[in-house]
Amino acid sequence: MKNGEVLECRKDPRIVELAEALKVLSEPNRLRIICYLSGGEACVCEVERELDISQQLTSHHLNALKNAGFLRVRKEGTSSYYSIETENLKGVNETFCKYVDYRRVKTGKRQSCGC
C-alpha cells in the first residue's frame, strides 16, 4: 500500500460511518440476532427464546440494530416481526473489505521513518 493510500483512508469520512456501524455490530447478542435472522423473519419472542435473554434486553438490541439500519420491522397486530435489511449489512461488509483487503496487506516491515 502506498503512503498516499493510507492518507486517503485517514481522511475518508466513510471510515467514521464504518466505525459507527461496527460499534453497533460489536455486541455479541446483536451478532447472534443477525445470525438468527439470517434464517428469516422472526418476532421478538422468537428472538428472545433463541438468545435466552430478557424481553427488555432483546428489544433493546433489536432497536439498536433497527436504528442503525441493519433490521427492518413489520407490524402485525400487536406483534413486531424483524428481518435483516440486506443491502445495509452488505454495504458495511463491502466497505470493511475495501479498507481491510487481506490481499493488499504487507507482511514485512514498513520503510523506516527514521525514528
Confirm whether 107 is domain-assigned: no
Confirm whether 20 is domain-assigned: yes
Confirm whether 112 is domain-assigned: no
The answer to whether 53 and 45 have CB atoms below 8 angstroms apart is no
Nearest C-alpha neighbor of 81 from the set 111, 109, 46: 46
Place of cell 445470525: 35
Residues in the chain, how many? 115
pLDDT, mean of residues 75-96: 93
Range of the domain at 10: 3-99
Confirm whether 38 is domain-assigned: yes
The answer to whether 58 and 51 have CB atoms below 8 angstroms apart is yes
Assigned C-alpha cell, 97: 473489505
Give the chain's domain count. 1
Condensed to tens digits (0 to 9), the pLDDT of residues 15-74 reads 888 899 999 999 999 999 999 999 999 999 999 999 999 999 999 999 999 999 999 999
Residue 6 neighbours by CB distance under 10 Å = 10
